């Protein structure tokens, strides 16, 4: 007889397991936040505890690129400080005064270098904020969160600005070391840091405004670079012009531009004897702000502008950006004026294709939109008109010889810099953009070879840039032709007196051969920049990385070549002018200032100074031919290397976006 079944076949659970699970204990920091006043919690959510700020700081802190940037930043400052101290304290015995002078000079170098590095690195760190617009779903997700408009804008700003301000903080002990030598007041250190921080905050606010407006995507990074560089260059050029005509502050050396440029504000802070503000009480109204306290005005103005941009961004972040304003379903009148259809139309008039379809497409596609056409031809028209106005004012006597030369070289340098940045941006996005949108996959299915593809890219870019290159070449060329014809009977002539070793030499304001020599160098140089951009565009996964890498490579190469060419032309006889032509910037300078740019060749002629000037001009012409050939050779070498590795690189990056 079987026993009745009196127990469960499953083991009885422990009594403690039958009780409900306790609620998880929240972290201790949440208790602290809950105990805080409501206003303090609200302020913390705007900055330190903002989810966007925390995410950006945590994610970017793990990236090796940011670590290398921070390490390189400190390494550059340390090397420059050590080099400056060793140079300025050489000798067996030093007095306290010499130590103080060495400390002051070293601090000056570091302060200027820090502003330069901040202006270079700030756009790099803020580029991600501008490129965020290219992913509109990011905004859609953010707008569904409980965060308000202010938290979204400030979170993006503070999260990306954190790394720039961290660079300034980590270099503060390095600056403090200069006080051990004396000659460096503590107030000057903190004011220089305030100038750098104000510039960084302003750059960051502009980047966030571009991101929130959603008017452009990743390509707006290039416009951001151009705007920052152009603004700094233009304000410095205007300041130098006002100083040359003695339009400075009463009893001081600064101008109205000092309070709107970080480099000029720092210069007035570190050189009060030669470039100082007006004494207090000598001016009134707005002039007292700009001419009596330029550093305070710059800091207050930049912080105020940043606050204004952030405030405006909070109103447009949920409105879909500025692109939603003024839209219409029909064809706008300005597009009809230029013969363009509606945006996104599927039909357009047929166009004739050249022998290389890639070259035709690269040159024509750049003018496919109204904005690009207007921007390109506005630059050409404005530049040529400005060059003619310079000649007109010089011919009528409104501009003196030294003023005309300064305005001419500043104009040519600025135009060459803008064209170089345009070439870099176009070339650096030429291939990576097609990889991102899938166009490259379609092109690879055609009979076009890698050599024809890359050659067409370069030809199309140069063809697009040729009208823009005509602006600096035409400006300097018109001045050279004007000098060749004797200034058309200008009162005072077109010759100036230059002092060479206590002897005066009569030289033209511009060498007449400028119209021939400058294009021999500038066109191959722009081709070199475009080829470097194409190489990085082919190797990079995205347009943002290719643009930043190309800017860094071309910038460093141009800086090294320019400094070496300038020093060689000034201090080496005969060979110096040949090396001087390797850079378009130094070549243009020597064409306008031949005695200053080619001093040793002019002075060490062994005969008269006129024969020395002739030798320098001949050597400069030979150098222009050699420089053009060198750049062409480099372009050909890069092209052949890209053709050889084209298939491997494309397959390696296939499928990446």
**Is the CB of residue 281 less than 8 Å from the CB of residue 302?**
no
Do 192 and 117 fall within a single domain? yes
pTM of this structure: 0.57
Q: How far is CA 585 from the centre of its chain?
A: 17
| Percent of the chain clearing pLDDT 90 (strictly above) | 5
CB-based burial of residue 289 (10 Å sphere; 0-12 exposed, 13-18 middle, 19+ buried)? middle
**Is the CB of residue 541 less than 8 Å from the CB of residue 656?**
yes
Judged against a pLDDT cut of 80, whether residue 432 lies above it is answered with: no
Q: How far is CA 652 from the centre of its chain?
A: 31
Condensed to tens digits (0 to 9), the pLDDT of residues 275-318 reads: 888 888 788 778 888 888 889 999 999 999 888 888 887 777 76
- Domain span including residue 188: 51-321
- Cα separation, 325 vs 321, in Å, equals 8
Task: Write down the mean pLDDT value for the chain.
Answer: 77
Tell me which of 267, 287, 321 is where a domain ends.
321
Question: What does the pLDDT read at residue 634?
Answer: 92
Judged against a pLDDT cut of 50, whether residue 628 lies above it is answered with: yes
Q: Residue 556: pLDDT band by 50, 70, 90 thresholds?
A: confident
Question: What does the pLDDT read at residue 14?
Answer: 47
Domain presence at residue 422:
yes
β strands within 579-633, DSSP E: none
Residue count of the chain: 657
- Cα separation, 136 vs 133, in Å, equals 6
Tally of domains within the chain: 2
Distances (CA, A) of 481 to 409, 434, 505, 589: 16, 44, 21, 17
Tell me which of 321, 345, 380 is where a domain ends.
321
Judged against a pLDDT cut of 80, whether residue 214 lies above it is answered with: no
How large is the average pLDDT for residues 405-427?
88
Winning range, highest mean pLDDT, from 44-58, 83-97, 617-631: 617-631
Condensed to tens digits (0 to 9), the pLDDT of residues 574-607 reads: 888 888 888 898 999 988 888 888 878 877 755 5
Q: Residue 346: pLDDT band by 50, 70, 90 thresholds?
A: low
Q: Quote the tokens at residue 490.
A: 């200008």
Residues 6+ apart with CB under 8 A from 325: none
Do 97 and 239 fall within a single domain? yes
Winning range, highest mean pLDDT, from 190-194, 327-331, 612-616: 190-194
Do 312 and 415 fall within a single domain? no
How large is the average pLDDT for residues 435-446?
70
Condensed to tens digits (0 to 9), the pLDDT of residues 353-387 reads: 556 666 666 666 655 566 667 777 788 888 888 88
What sign for the dihedral angle of Cα 573, 410, 276, 172?
Answer: negative
Domain presence at residue 346:
no
Judged against a pLDDT cut of 60, whether residue 438 lies above it is answered with: yes
Do 531 and 405 fall within a single domain? yes
Nearest CA-CA partner of 556 in 126, 227, 76? 76
Question: What does the pLDDT read at residue 626?
Answer: 93
Do 432 and 581 fall within a single domain? yes
Condensed to tens digits (0 to 9), the pLDDT of residues 486-524 reads: 877 777 778 887 777 677 777 888 888 888 898 999 999
Do 272 and 135 fall within a single domain? yes
Q: Residue 26: pLDDT band by 50, 70, 90 thresholds?
A: very low
Do 459 and 587 fall within a single domain? yes
- Cα separation, 632 vs 637, in Å, equals 9
Q: Residue 625: pLDDT band by 50, 70, 90 thresholds?
A: very high
Q: Which region holds residue 95: left if phi is over 0, alpha if psi is between -120 and 50, else beta?
A: beta
How large is the average pLDDT for residues 63-82?
80
Tell me which of 289, 305, 321 is where a domain ends.
321
Q: Residue 421: pLDDT band by 50, 70, 90 thresholds?
A: confident
How large is the average pLDDT for residues 131-157?
68
Question: What does the pLDDT read at residue 316?
Answer: 72
Judged against a pLDDT cut of 80, whether residue 420 lies above it is answered with: yes
Do 424 and 551 fall within a single domain? yes
Do 390 and 315 fall within a single domain? no
């Amino acid at each position: 007889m079987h026993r009745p079944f009196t127990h469960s076949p499953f083991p009885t659970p422990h009594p403690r397991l039958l009780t409900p699970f306790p609620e998880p204990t929240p972290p201790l920091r949440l208790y602290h936040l809950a105990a805080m006043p409501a206003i303090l919690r609200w302020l913390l959510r705007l900055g330190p505890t903002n989810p966007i700020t925390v995410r950006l700081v945590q994610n970017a802190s793990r990236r090796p690129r940011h670590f290398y940037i921070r390490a390189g930043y400190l390494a550059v400052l340390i090397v420059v400080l050590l080099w400056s101290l060793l140079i300025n304290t050489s000798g067996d015995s030093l007095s306290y005064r010499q130590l103080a002078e060495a400390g002051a000079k070293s601090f000056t170098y570091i302060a200027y270098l820090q502003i330069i590095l901040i202006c270079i690195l700030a756009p790099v760190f803020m580029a991600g904020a501008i490129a965020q617009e290219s992913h509109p779903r990011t905004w859609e997700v953010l707008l569904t969160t409980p965060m308000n408009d202010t938290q979204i804008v400030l979170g993006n700003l503070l999260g990306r600005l954190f790394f720039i301000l961290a660079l300034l903080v980590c270099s503060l002990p390095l600056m403090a070391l200069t006080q051990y030598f004396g000659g460096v007041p503590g107030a000057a250190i903190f004011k220089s840091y305030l100038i750098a921080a104000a510039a960084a905050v302003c750059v960051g606010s502009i980047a966030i405004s571009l991101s929130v407006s959603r008017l452009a995507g990743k390509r707006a990074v290039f416009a951001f670079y151009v705007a920052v560089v152009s603004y700094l260059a233009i304000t410095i050029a205007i300041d130098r012009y006002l100083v040359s005509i003695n339009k400075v502050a009463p009893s001081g050396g600064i101008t109205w531009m000092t309070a709107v440029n970080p480099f000029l504000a720092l210069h007035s802070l570190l050189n009060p004897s030669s470039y100082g503000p007006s004494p207090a009480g000598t001016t009134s109204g707005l002039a007292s702000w700009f001419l009596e306290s330029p550093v305070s005005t710059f800091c207050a103005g930049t912080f105020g502008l940043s606050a204004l941009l952030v405030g405006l961004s909070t109103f447009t972040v949920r409105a879909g950006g500025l692109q939603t304003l003024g839209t219409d379903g029909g064809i706008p009148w300005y597009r009809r004026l230029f013969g363009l259809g509606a945006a996104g139309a599927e039909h357009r008039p047929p166009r004739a294709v050249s022998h290389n379809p890639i070259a035709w497409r690269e040159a024509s596609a750049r003018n496919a939109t109204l904005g690009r056409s207007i921007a390109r031809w506005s630059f050409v028209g404005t530049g040529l008109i400005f060059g003619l106005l310079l000649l007109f004012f010089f011919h009528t006597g409104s501009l003196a010889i030294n003023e005309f030369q300064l305005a001419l070289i500043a104009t040519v340098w600025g135009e060459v810099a803008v064209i170089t940045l345009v070439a870099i941006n176009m070339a650096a996005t030429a291939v990576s953009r097609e990889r991102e949108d899938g166009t490259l996959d379609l092109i690879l299915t055609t009979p076009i070879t890698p050599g024809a593809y890359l050659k067409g890219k370069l030809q199309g870019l140069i063809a697009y840039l040729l009208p823009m290159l005509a602006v600096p070449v035409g400006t300097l060329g018109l001045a050279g032709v004007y000098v060749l014809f004797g200034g058309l009977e200008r009162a005072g002539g077109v010759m100036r007196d230059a002092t060479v070793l206590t002897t005066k030499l009569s030289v033209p304001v511009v060498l007449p051969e400028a119209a021939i020599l400058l294009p021999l160098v500038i066109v191959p140089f722009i081709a070199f920049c475009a080829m470097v951009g194409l190489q990085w565009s082919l190797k990079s996964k995205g347009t943002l990385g290719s643009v930043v890498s190309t800017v860094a490579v071309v910038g460093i190469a141009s800086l090294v070549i320019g400094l070496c060419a300038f020093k060689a032309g000034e201090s080496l006889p005969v060979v110096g002018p040949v090396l001087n032509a390797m850079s378009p910037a130094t070549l243009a300078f020597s064409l306008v200032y031949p005695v200053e740019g080619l001093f040793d060749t002019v002075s060490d002629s062994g005969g008269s100074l006129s024969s020395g000037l002739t030798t320098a001009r001949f050597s400069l012409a030979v150098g222009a031919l050699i420089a053009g050939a060198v750049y062409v050779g480099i372009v050909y070498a890069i092209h052949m290397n890209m053709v050889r590795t084209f298939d491997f690189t494309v397959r390696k990056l296939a499928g990446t976006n």
